[in-house]
């Protein structure tokens, strides 16, 4: 069975549209039930519905179809989900009717996640009434909710005045890791003498704190943030009532860190709990979030060290400036061969001929992209982002950028030329065979190459976001080289939320290839950071061993609904490894690392813990790897592609490095940062 390469992932064609009129209470309740069910699998935070339902309803559009009207055509861009309230729809694939949809059914729900082409044509079998929800508008609502909630938690944690040594990205990571919890009126959170391992933050509501051991001044001393205290009363029954933003975890953190003289002896290191001297109960319903001391120590480090010295993250730690060549021209290159063509131009193999230049005689691959086509396809920001990221990088295992330039009609990226074969071909082309007896160590070597390039990107503050065999090349010296930073993202970045520009440590766009997407990229507003790369690396390592990723049943399976469902199900069900996994991997530690990388909760995922990428490097699976030697490409590769494999991936057809025939008709202002215009 051939394995196709995988791609990284309008309102109706006919019919009448309009806004929803839900002024009638019964109709509103009916509609809320109708709309909530198909959204539940994307939203694990149920408060999203209660807090944003009015906004969701304001975005819903009513769609009415007459008999034989076309709702969508196979191959159209999917940009909205439809819920059928009345009528009947027929589903057509090719020219064959394969199914019908009845009232209450959903059509095109994956369009809320991906901008994927529609897989079928949908027509009205009879007059229909539907409701449409746009992906763009729904995503904006989710983003607004997620960012607002995270920013509020970060502010409240700062105001508690016990985490001051932690920088903003670390506080943000902690906020995202916190889990939601609701406490009902009168419910006791804990009592005097209880062992407490949770650090609870009140987002909304009031708590009553009381003690038979402490007077009111001593209780206040534990929680000096007066703005979060509504009232207090003196002994003998000292009580204090708190409000929104009160961080109950303050005394837990200080006690665990040994920084509270009165409570310092009450920390149990074995249990990771502190002994409470206060009673806490809810005054009315309370909504909040919490993290545990165990989580804090795993993600950030021991409380004492973290509170006194802060935390230095692996991500974004390398601020070294990389100098790039800025004085080359098209005339400095000779074209050797044509390597391939894409949607916006072609790739040529060239040789630098500039006399006296230190790189004279070196070969490069030049991406020649037509400006008119780039603007028409709205791809300029995408291409500019890749260029800007490549400008900051210099690593032997990442395809590098020498320079960029422009002419009247085209822009050019002069990239490293890598004599290679795609890792995807090595894995799935039956004509390419690696030595079976050495396959275990060959795959371990490949995995070390791939992770080394990811770890370097992370030190530069870049999340890669599209790891897969198709974006990896096995070079002529046997090393695996990472290419294509088209979906990569530098973090933090400026994003727009509710019409305002804000700085965010997380990205919110779903991108990449479905089989490798981490759960957080699919759920609750899609907020994610570089942790998705550790998940994808786990998927890729599994694929190297088994021959397909964990979320398909065979290589090439492309049923997106099933793939997404399986990924989301990992939140509640553990990944099942084939019985022969250890045998194929050649050891038991490979499964251990895959399991640690494929943790659905980000704060438990290997690579995202306090040791950062180094936790992966020191895992027993990589015990034989010399990482410094790998980064310098000094360790001899066990297997190298032969000349015949390399020849299949090049063309002898020579071509001039000339302008594309499509003339650019814009004013050029969009390309002003591409250097001097060359004739």
Per the CB < 8 A criterion, the answer to whether 364 and 417 are in contact is: yes
What is the Cα 276 distance to its own chain's centre?
Answer: 38
Position of tokens 């999203």?
A: 48
Who's near 92: CB < 8 A, 6+ residues apart?
74, 98, 120, 121, 122, 123
- Separation between Cα atoms, residue 513 and residue 596, nearest integer Å: 21
Q: Which two tokens stand for residue 447?
A: 């995995």
Q: Which two tokens stand for residue 500?
A: 């305002």
Q: Is 562 annotated as a binding residue?
A: no
The candidate with the shortest Cα–Cα distance to 444, out of 251, 593, 232, 311, is 593
- Separation between Cα atoms, residue 73 and residue 91, nearest integer Å: 10
**What does DSSP say about strands 279-292 and 273-275: parallel, antiparallel, or unpaired?**
unpaired
- The two most distant CA atoms of the chain are separated, in Å, by 92
Burial class (CB in 10 A: 0-12, 13-18, 19+), 306: buried
Helix or strand holding residue 9 (H, E): none
Our answer to whether residue 477 is catalytic in this structure is no
Half-sphere exposure of 92 (CA within 13 A, CB side): 17
What is the Cα 332 distance to its own chain's centre?
Answer: 40
- Separation between Cα atoms, residue 333 and residue 330, nearest integer Å: 6
Q: Cis omega before residue 236 (within 30°)? A: yes
Half-sphere exposure of 406 (CA within 13 A, CB side): 19
Position of tokens 């982002």?
A: 385
**What backbone torsions phi and psi does residue 486 show, to the nearest 5 degrees?**
-60, -30
Cα angle 180, 186, 187 (rounded to 5 degrees) comes to 45
Alpha helix stretches (DSSP H) within 19-127 = 25-39, 47-59
Position of tokens 């409701």?
A: 131
Q: Which residues of 224-239 are buried (b: 16+ CB within 10 A; e: fewer)?
A: ebeebbeeeeeeeebb
Of the residues 260, 466, 533, 660, which is catalytic? 466
The candidate with the shortest Cα–Cα distance to 236, out of 262, 209, 214, is 214
Partners of residue 334 on adjacent β-strands: 351
- Which residues of 332-429 form beta strands (DSSP E)? 333-342, 345-352, 363-370, 401-407, 410-416, 420-422
Per the CB < 8 A criterion, the answer to whether 122 and 107 are in contact is: yes
Per the CB < 8 A criterion, the answer to whether 280 and 150 are in contact is: no
Position of tokens 């975890």?
A: 249
User: Alpha-carbon torsion 607, 609, 611, 612, what sign?
Assistant: positive
- Separation between Cα atoms, residue 555 and residue 219, nearest integer Å: 61
Q: Which two tokens stand for residue 175?
A: 């906020």
Binding residues for ATP: 367
Enzyme catalytic residues: 466
């Amino acid at each position: 069975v051939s394995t196709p390469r995988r791609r990284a992932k309008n309102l109706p064609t006919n019919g009448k549209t309009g806004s929803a009129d839900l002024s009638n209470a019964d109709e509103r309740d009916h509609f809320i039930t109708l709309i909530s069910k198909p959204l539940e699998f994307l939203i694990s935070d149920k408060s999203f519905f209660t807090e944003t339902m009015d906004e969701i309803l304001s975005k819903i559009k009513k769609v009415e179809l007459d008999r034989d009207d076309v709702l969508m055509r196979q191959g159209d861009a999917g940009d909205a989900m439809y819920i059928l309230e009345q009528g009947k729809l027929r589903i057509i694939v090719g020219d064959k009717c394969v199914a019908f949809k009845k009232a209450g059914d959903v059509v095109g729900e994956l369009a809320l996640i991906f901008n994927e082409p529609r897989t079928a044509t949908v027509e009205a079998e009879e007059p229909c009434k539907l409701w449409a929800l746009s992906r763009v508008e729904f995503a904006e609502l989710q983003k607004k909710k997620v960012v607002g909630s995270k920013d509020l938690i970060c502010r409240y944690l700062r105001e508690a005045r016990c985490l001051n040594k932690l920088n903003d990205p670390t506080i943000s990571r902690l906020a995202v890791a916190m889990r939601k919890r609701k406490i009902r009126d009168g419910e006791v959170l804990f009592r005097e003498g209880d062992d407490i391992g949770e650090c609870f933050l009140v987002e909304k509501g009031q708590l009553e704190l009381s003690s038979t051991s402490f007077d009111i001044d001593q209780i206040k001393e534990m929680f000096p943030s007066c703005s979060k205290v509504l009232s207090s009363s003196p002994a003998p029954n000292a009580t204090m009532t708190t409000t929104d933003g009160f961080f109950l975890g303050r005394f837990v953190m200080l006690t665990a860190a040994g920084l509270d003289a009165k409570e310092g002896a009450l920390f149990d290191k074995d249990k990771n709990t502190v002994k409470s001297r206060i009673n806490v109960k809810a005054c009315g319903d309370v909504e909040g979030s919490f993290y545990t001391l165990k989580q804090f120590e795993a993600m950030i480090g021991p409380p004492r060290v973290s509170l006194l010295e802060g935390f230095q993250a692996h991500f974004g730690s390398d601020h070294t400036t990389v100098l790039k060549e800025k004085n080359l021209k098209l005339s400095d290159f000779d074209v050797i061969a044509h390597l391939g063509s894409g949607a916006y131009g072609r790739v040529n193999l060239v040789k630098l001929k500039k006399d006296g230049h230190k790189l004279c005689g070196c070969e490069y691959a030049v991406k020649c992209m037509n400006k008119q086509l780039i603007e028409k396809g709205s791809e300029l920001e995408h291409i500019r982002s890749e260029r800007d990221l490549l400008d900051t990088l210099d690593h032997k295992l990442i395809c590098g950028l020498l320079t960029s330039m422009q002419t009247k009609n085209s822009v050019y990226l002069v990239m490293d030329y890598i004599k290679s074969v795609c890792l995807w071909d090595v894995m799935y082309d039956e004509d390419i065979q690696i030595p079976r007896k050495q396959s275990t160590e060959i795959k371990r070597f490949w995995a070390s190459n791939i992770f080394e390039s990811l770890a370097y990107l992370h030190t530069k503050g870049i999340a890669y976001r599209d790891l897969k065999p198709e974006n990896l090349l096995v070079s002529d010296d046997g090393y695996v080289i990472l290419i294509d930073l088209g979906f990569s993202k530098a973090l933090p970045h400026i994003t727009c939320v509710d019409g305002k520009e804000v700085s965010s440590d997380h990205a919110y766009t779903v991108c990449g290839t479905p089989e490798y997407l981490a759960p957080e990229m699919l759920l609750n507003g899609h907020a994610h950071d570089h942790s998705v790369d550790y998940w994808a690396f786990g998927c890729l390592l599994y694929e190297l061993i088994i021959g397909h990723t964990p979320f398909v049943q065979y290589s090439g399976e492309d049923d997106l609904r099933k793939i997404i469902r399986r990924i989301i199900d990992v939140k509640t069900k553990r990944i099942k490894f084939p019985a022969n996994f250890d045998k194929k991997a050649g050891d038991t530690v490979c499964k251990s690392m895959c399991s640690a990388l494929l943790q659905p909760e980000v704060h438990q995922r290997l690579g995202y813990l306090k040791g950062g990428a180094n936790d992966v490097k020191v895992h027993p699976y990589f015990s034989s790897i010399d990482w410094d030697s790998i980064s310098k490409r000094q360790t001899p590769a066990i297997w190298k592609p032969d000349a015949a494999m390399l020849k299949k991936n090049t063309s002898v057809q020579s071509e001039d490095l000339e302008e594309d025939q499509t003339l650019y008709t814009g004013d050029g202002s969009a390309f002003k940062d591409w250097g001097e215009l060359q004739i």
